[in-house]
Amino acid sequence: MEIKSSTSVSKSDFKHIYHLQKEIPQTFDKGIVLYGGEDFLRLDKNMYAVPFGFLF
What does the pLDDT profile of the chain (56 residues) look like in tens digits?
Answer: 999 999 999 999 999 999 999 999 999 999 999 999 999 999 999 999 999 999 87
Q: Which of 27, 35, 4, 30 is nearest to 18 (CA)?
A: 30
Measured CA to CA, the distance from residue 33 to residue 16 in angstroms comes to 11
Give the Cα separation of 30 and 56 in Å (integer): 21
| Sign of the CA dihedral with 7 first, then 9, 12, and 14 last | positive
Dihedral sign for Cα 14, 15, 18, 19, please: negative
How many structural domains does the chain have? 1
Instruction: Give pTM, 2 decimals.
Output: 0.87
pLDDT at residue 56, rounded to an integer: 79
User: Is-contact 8 39, C-beta < 8 A?
Assistant: no
